[in-house]
Amino acid sequence: MQEHIVTSFEEALDNINESLARMGGLAEKQLADSIEAITRRDHALAEKTVASDKQIDALEVDIEAQALRLIALRQPMAIDLRETISAIKISADLERIGDLGKNVAKRAMVVDQASPGRAMQGLERMGRQVLNQLKEVLDAYAQRDHERAMVVWRRDEEIDEMYNSLFRELLTYMMEDPRTISLCTHLLFVAKNLERIGDHSTNIAETVQFLVTGNPIEESRPKGDTTSVTSMEFPPDAGPQAK
């Protein structure tokens, strides 16, 4: 009987992990497609990407239900409990990543005009970095490699720096040519969504660290987003009063 109980528990945990792996794969694809849609202004791909978010939402609900059932029926302890709780936390982060990826795709559906080349290149570069961070942290979780997860955790500041640079660049375009304000506003929202996805990847890295070691990260989270205190000055010949 004891062997049967252990096997049932392990099978239940394996099912949760399989669902989480599927959810992670869907989140990666959705993010990749949303980046492709916004940088290529591909409306058809954007619509398909928005619709795919329902699968991620459904998996998050299913994983949480499986995990709560496992806790209620098996009352796991130590590493088994950490495995179960970590699955709930990571699925929640993946669900938010899915929502943010969907938001990027929605912006692609309304962006019609060509954007400033350098800005779009910067946005694409930031998107690829965010996607790479997500892939790395999900691989770290699959391999239970907390050191690899910590590499992702420490590199989040790079994404913040990309966001800061893109934020300033888009503001400059808007000041120089008011006709770009609508487009650049959409791109600013895209960049912020990508920056938030980086934050959720960092959350997953922290969960992996706790799952493997049983200890939280004691260091302060590296953050480099300075846009909340960024001020921009118009050039002397700019503005409605300029002649």
The one-letter amino acid code at 232 reads M
Q: Indicate whether 104 belongs to any domain.
A: yes
Token couple for 46: 């954007």
In a domain, 202, yes or no: yes
Query: Does 242 reside within a domain?
Result: no
How many residues does the structure list for the chain? 243
Question: What's the pLDDT at 5?
Answer: 47
7 lies in some domain = yes
Decide: residue 37, CB within 10 A, 0-12 exposed, 13-18 middle, 19+ buried. buried
With H, G, I as helix, E, B as strand and everything else as coil, classify residue 156: helix
CATH code for position 92: 1.20.58.220
- Helix (H) or strand (E) segment spanning residue 218: none
- Is the per-residue pLDDT at 240 higher than 80? no
pLDDT for 130 equals 98
Is 194 a member of any domain?
yes
In this prediction, residues 27-40 reach a mean pLDDT of 95
Spatial contact of 217 and 223, defined as CB atoms under 8 Å apart: no
Q: Sorting pLDDT into bands at 50, 70 and 90, what band is 76?
A: confident
Confidence check: pLDDT of 68 > 90: yes
Q: Is the model's pTM score more than 0.95?
A: no
**Which has the minimum average pLDDT: 58-62, 100-104, 214-218, 222-226?**
222-226
The domain tally of the chain equals 1
pLDDT of 26 above 70: yes
Q: Is residue 240 part of a domain?
A: no
CA distance 233 to 214: 49
Q: What is the pLDDT of residues 124-182, one digit of tens each?
A: 999 999 999 999 999 999 999 999 999 999 999 999 999 999 999 999 999 998 988 98
pLDDT at 74 > cutoff 90: no
Residue 201's pLDDT is what?
A: 97
Q: Is 230 helix (H, G, I), strand (E, B) or coil?
A: coil
- Provide the residue range defining the domain that includes 195: 2-229
Is 24 a member of any domain?
yes
Residue 18 in any domain: the answer is yes
pLDDT confidence band for 237 (50 / 70 / 90): low
